[in-house]
Amino acid sequence: MINERSLFERLEQTKSTAYSTDIDLRSMIKSVTFNLQQMLNVREGSVSSLPDYGMPDFNDLVYEFPDAIYQLQVAIRRFLLKYEPRISDVLVRYIPDSTQPLQLKYYVEVSLKHAPMESGAFQFETVITGSGQAFVKAA
């Protein structure tokens, strides 16, 4: 059974709802986006049972510029594909922004599993600040 909400969202639910095989695409996109926001703010190595869970520490990559831009791009794609089971494809592209030199902006397009092809893809931008915090917003 496919559910558009994450396990924790279903566990936190207080009211009983009817089960259905229909997917509420809007709810799924909202849930996936929220989960991606949470995921991108976890530092690699901070989950002892999953040492590769999380994003590399931005402060460690500062000394590797401009290669760090590509390293983060690859890390975002790998991380999202591995740990968000509701998505199947991830395209990550760096967006240069000379007005914000201490931030890295990426355009991310993901495809949802089990969604109609024409409506199963959505895009967002993620901005990684100088402190390593990630923000996700609809593109």
CATH classification at residue 30? 3.10.450.40
Whether 10 is in a domain gets the answer no
Q: Are strands 104-112 and 87-95 parallel, antiparallel or unpaired?
A: antiparallel
Q: Residue 59: which domain range?
A: 23-138
Q: Are strands 104-112 and 134-138 parallel, antiparallel or unpaired?
A: unpaired
Whether 2 is in a domain gets the answer no
Whether 9 is in a domain gets the answer no
Summarised one tens digit per residue, pLDDT across range 8-28 is 666 666 555 555 555 677 888
**Cα 113 → chain centroid:** 15
pTM for this structure?
0.75
User: Which pair of tokens denotes residue 31?
Assistant: 């849930």
For the chain, the C-alpha Rg in angstroms (whole number) is 16
Share of the chain above pLDDT 90, in %: 19
Whether 13 is in a domain gets the answer no
Q: What is the pLDDT of residue 74?
A: 92
Mean pLDDT of the chain: 80
**Cα 92 → chain centroid:** 10
Whether 17 is in a domain gets the answer no
Summarised one tens digit per residue, pLDDT across range 28-40 is 888 888 898 899 8
Summarised one tens digit per residue, pLDDT across range 47-70 is 999 998 988 876 776 666 778 888
Whether 37 is in a domain gets the answer yes
Whether 8 is in a domain gets the answer no
Contacts 24+ apart (CB under 8 A), 39-44: 39/79, 39/80, 39/83, 39/84, 40/76, 40/79, 40/126, 40/128, 40/134, 40/136, 41/133, 41/134, 43/132
Q: Say how many domains are in the chain.
A: 1
Q: What is the pLDDT of residue 49?
A: 93
Length of the chain measured in residues: 139
Q: Distance between CA atoms of 58 and 2, rounded to whole angstroms?
A: 35
Whether 41 is in a domain gets the answer yes
